[in-house]
Structure 1
Amino acid sequence: MHARLDHVRNWIFDLDNTLYPHGARLFEQVDRRITDYIARFFQVDRDEAYKIQKGYFHTRGTTLSGLMAEHGVDPYEYLADVHDIEMDVLDENAPLAAAIARLPGRKIIFTNADALYAGKILAKLGLGETFEAIHDVHAAQYRPKPAPEAYRHLCDAYCLDPTQSLFADDMARNLKPAKQIGMTTLWVDNGSEQGEEGDRDFVDFTTRDITHWLHDILEEA
């Protein structure tokens, strides 16, 4: 194990574009369905819908949060709609499953999606039995990453010491609140985060491929 990670006892992973490659383009299907949902809901064209969608994403953390706060949208109905996608682009990742199994301590998914969708993805990747829990948007009481309370709620829910925890996410902005409460942070910089620049001193480790990174740290003395 990498010497700088000897303290880690809790391994917390984002889901989309973190545990599978951004190149699979799976989340692009979700993104398109969100745009279509917004277009129908507001009765606007897709260009205007996309602007509304991304406005909520940047100000509220997720489009769902904005729709719930300002328009009372039912989260279960919304998530069932936007997550109704084909997952044939995903393949089993036995090396990733093997690496995560070797990590010392607890393993948890922390996602702004819901557990039903997350479970389907994990099954496709061969990770269906890998994680202790999926802490989803419902469990987070609709306070999504990067809201600081989302991270506190996660730690309280599973009695996690953040100073003994590592959090991996493909969105660098989601790592800052984790670092602020003492977590070690891993940025999966695979191209999914667009147009977000700035100081990233809250990132402890960076990789383009989480499977390779995990194998590398496990092989280091």
Structure 2
Amino acid sequence: MAFEAVIFDFGGVFTTSPVQNFAEFERKHGLPEKFIGDVIKTNIHDNAWARFERAQMSLEDFDEAFAEETKTAGFEIRGATLIDLLKLHFNHEMIAALARVKAAGYKTGCITNNLPKIDSKGMLAPGESRDVVEQIHANFDHIIESSKAGVRKPEPRIYEMMCEALCVEPEVCIFLDDLGVNLKPARAMGMTTIKVPIGDVGPAVEELDRLLFPT
């Protein structure tokens, strides 16, 4: 396969995954494993989290709506509490991989589900440099943010938008994401997908190198 472009998710790929923070919160409060994730996946295209990522509601409205959804599921978590859990650390191995991909001449893109007024810099853990985000962004030819585009993964349109921006067909693209639900539509379009394991990006970097730089 002659690949032309590599498209990356941001959180969970270049940074640790929020899922790791969610799991810690769940353990601390005696909640079922993946409680938060299950709420976020329920009514996946029209729940509070989805609408907030598309900037269809304010933080205040999200705070109330997410509290109601989680209360219905058995344990109330305010939306503002969820936002406070988005404190992420960099995965420098993946940052270096992006630099290699860019240096080799491949087109690069980033599709990120993010929140209005809370960009990638706003999700960093204390002590992490915001300048590193700028360094990462400099290696992308195009970035699509859900809160600005009004569309989010896993809606197929957001992947189409990236292909249009990069002037490529899906079949010549590799897409990396830490969530399987976001990989499925990309794969259905014809992209080669790589799942980034939560907690260890190494296997994904190795697979990417194998596809782009075979020995």
TM-score (norm 2): 0.61
Q: The residue matched to 1:220 in structure 2 has which SS?
A: coil
Q: 1:210 aligns with which of 204, 207, 212?
A: 204
Unaligned runs of 5+ in 1: 36-44, 193-206
Q: Could you tell me which residue of structure 2 aligns to residue 107 of structure 1?
A: 108
Q: Who is 1:14 aligned against? A: 9
1:119–1:135 CA distance, 2 compared to 1 (3 A): farther
Picking from 109, 118, 121, the partner of 2:120 is 118
What residue in structure 2 maps to residue 174 of structure 1? 182
Alpha-carbon deviations, 1:195-221, whole Å to 9, x = none?
xxxxxxxxxxxx753333334444424
Distance 2:37 2:181 in 1: 18
Name the counterpart of 2:76. none
Letter of the 2:140 counterpart = F
CA RMSD between the two structures? 4.2
Over 3 Å counting, the alpha-carbon distance change for 1:63 and 1:52 in structure 2 is farther
Q: How big is the shift at 1:97?
A: 4.3
Map Cα deviations across residues 26-71 of structure 1 (whole Å, 9 max, x no partner). Answer: 5544x48x99xxxxxxxxx996xx96873342322574225689xx
User: 1:153 and 2:148 equivalent?
Assistant: no
The change in CA–CA distance for 1:96 and 1:123 in structure 2 (over 3 A counts) is farther
Equivalent in 54, 60, 64 of residue 49 of structure 2: 64
Could you tell me which residue of structure 1 aligns to residue 97 of structure 2? 96
Q: 1:101 to 1:208 in 2, by over 3 A?
A: same
Shift of 1:85: 4.9
Gaps of 5+ in 2: 64-78, 125-129
CA–CA distance in structure 1, aligned partners of residues 90 and 18 of structure 2? 8
SS in 2 for 1:60: coil
Select the residue among 138, 144, 161 that pairs with 1:135.
144
**Counterpart residue number, 1:187:** 195
- Alpha-carbon distance, 1:110 to partner: 0.5
Equivalent position amino acid for 1:110 in 2: I
* Matched-pair identity in %: 18
TM-score (normalised: structure 1)? 0.60
Q: Name the aligned partner's letter for residue 103 of structure 2.
A: R
**Cα distance in 2 between the residues matched to 1:132 and 1:77:** 34
**What is aligned with 2:39?**
55
